[in-house]
Amino acid sequence: MANILKFIVFLAIVIAIGTFAVNFYFGNLLTPPGGFFVSTDAGATWKKTGLLDAGGNINRLDVLDIVSNPKDSRILYASTMSGILKSVDGGEVWHRLEDKNKVLSPRANVFDLAADPRFPDYKKNVPDQFYLAVYQNDYGRVLKTKDGGVSFKEVYITSRAKVAVFDVAVDSNRPNIVWLATGEGTLLKSQDYGETWRLVQEFGRPINYLIINPRNTGQMLVTTFSGGIFTSPDGGATWVDDSEGLKSFTQARYIENLVYNPADGFVYLASRFGLLRSADFGLAWQAVDIIFPNDVLPITDIAWGGAGSRNVYVSAGNFIYASPDGGKFWQVRKLGASKKIRALWVDPEDPHKVIAGAGSAGKSLNQRSLLVLPH
């Protein structure tokens, strides 16, 4: 009997070691595909892409967002549930930012990134500068880098544990003004590049998205959990509750993304209902028909081509819907991802180049609520 028990223990150890070895050496094959996919023909065909220059399993990444630097679109940032990635060649190769000051945790949930539109300045040899909204070590924080991500400085931390910072935004006309939105339902403003902050508004419910109209940076829109929509016409001095506009759309309060399209001036809201858009910055909404009925698949992201382009891309599940004519005709492609497509980025210089980021986590209401509901 003793020999049988020894054999069982030995066998269990062998299986455990074998499983570890297989995962270690062949993790890319066994891990459900996440990471990045790219199309260079307006969504007609896709391929897995995005190498990590220091090795590592890119399939394990849970990508939340992909953002390009406003001054140099070759510089891309990908926020993930385990740190921040950066590419300087348009997404061909990525590297994980390793903070030399150890302020940014490699396990940080990076929910948002906002770049200072003045940088990089290649003539003065000044690298890109940006802010991160992160959740790490049980607190929401805003981190800032002035050297392209080599090192970070903490410029804000939430007053209570188990509360995240979900959005950070830079005024494109006055980059000294920076905004942040928290899971406590508070909106804060800095007028000195993030060095000091003051409370502007308390909404009473966790904020999940904040956008600023780049055409008129005094115009702002905030969404909260349970579908609250609040707008400000005067740079946050006063706020109007415009939540009624969403109530006629079933499940629209489950917001997956909120984006502004400068090409047509519409605000687009991706939700469990489907895709909505607003011509008056959040007062009234109308449904956008794609090629499936609303309520069938939750929309997770939407992206457009650059100025003058009518290319539109929408993600739902692991499908990409692409339109070359502003949404009149759509083609659909299923990507080889078992994780949902959470992020889309379109090259502003080439509307046919699209990068999609996949991940099992997301920036949706459900995912965010795990971290932000008051305790």
List residues bridging with 303 in a β-sheet: 313
Q: Tokens in use for 15?
A: 């299986």
Pairing relationship of beta strands 51-52 and 93-96 according to DSSP bridges: parallel
Superfamily of structural domain 35-372: YVTN repeat-like/Quinoprotein amine dehydrogenase (2.130.10.10)
The per-residue pLDDT for range 258-307, each reduced to its tens digit, is 999 888 889 999 988 888 999 999 999 999 888 766 656 678 899 988 87
What confidence score (pLDDT) does residue 290 get? 83
What confidence score (pLDDT) does residue 72 get? 93
Distance between CA atoms of residues 196 and 193, nearest Å: 8
What confidence score (pLDDT) does residue 361 get? 61
Task: Evaluate if residue 55 carries a pLDDT over 80.
Answer: no
Taking residues 215-220, report their average pLDDT: 94
Site of tokens 């011509």: 279
Task: Evaluate if residue 48 carries a pLDDT over 90.
Answer: no
Site of tokens 């990525």: 94
The per-residue pLDDT for range 115-152, each reduced to its tens digit, is 999 999 999 999 999 999 999 999 999 999 999 999 99
Task: Evaluate if residue 346 carries a pLDDT over 50.
Answer: yes
Taking residues 82-101, report their average pLDDT: 92
Helical ranges in the chain per DSSP H? 2-30, 365-372
What confidence score (pLDDT) does residue 157 get? 98
Distance between CA atoms of residues 28 and 180, nearest Å: 36
- The number of beta carbons lying within 10 Å of the beta carbon of residue 27 is 13
Distance between CA atoms of residues 86 and 345, nearest Å: 14
The residue among 203, 240, 202, 234 whose CA lies nearest residue 219 is 234
Number of Cα atoms under 13 Å in the Cβ half of residue 375:
11
Of the listed ranges 129-133, 243-247, 361-365, the one predicted with least confidence: 361-365
Task: Evaluate if residue 225 carries a pLDDT over 70.
Answer: yes
CA angle 146, 208, 64 (to 5 degrees): 60
Taking residues 346-361, report their average pLDDT: 89
What confidence score (pLDDT) does residue 152 get? 98
List residues bridging with 147 in a β-sheet: none
Task: Evaluate if residue 366 carries a pLDDT over 90.
Answer: no
Task: Evaluate if residue 24 carries a pLDDT over 70.
Answer: no
The per-residue pLDDT for range 186-207, each reduced to its tens digit, is 999 999 999 999 999 999 999 9
Taking residues 221-248, report their average pLDDT: 93
Distance between CA atoms of residues 327 and 268, nearest Å: 13
Task: Evaluate if residue 177 carries a pLDDT over 70.
Answer: yes
Q: State how far the alpha carbon of 42 is from the alpha carbons of 69, 305, 310, in Å.
A: 21, 10, 11
- Residue 324: cis peptide before it, omega within 30 degrees of 0: no
Task: Evaluate if residue 226 carries a pLDDT over 60.
Answer: yes
**How would residue 97 be classed by pLDDT, with cut points 50, 70 and 90?**
very high
What confidence score (pLDDT) does residue 64 get? 92
Taking residues 311-327, report their average pLDDT: 90
Taking residues 233-260, report their average pLDDT: 92
Distance between CA atoms of residues 94 and 58, nearest Å: 9
Taking residues 203-231, report their average pLDDT: 93
Q: Which DSSP letter does residue 306 get?
A: S
Q: Which DSSP letter does residue 365 get?
A: H
What confidence score (pLDDT) does residue 221 get? 97
Distance between CA atoms of residues 25 and 113, nearest Å: 33
Taking residues 236-256, report their average pLDDT: 91
Q: How many residues does the chain have?
A: 375
Rounded to two decimals, the pTM is: 0.86
Amino acid at 162: K
What confidence score (pLDDT) does residue 362 get? 54
Amino acid at 107: R
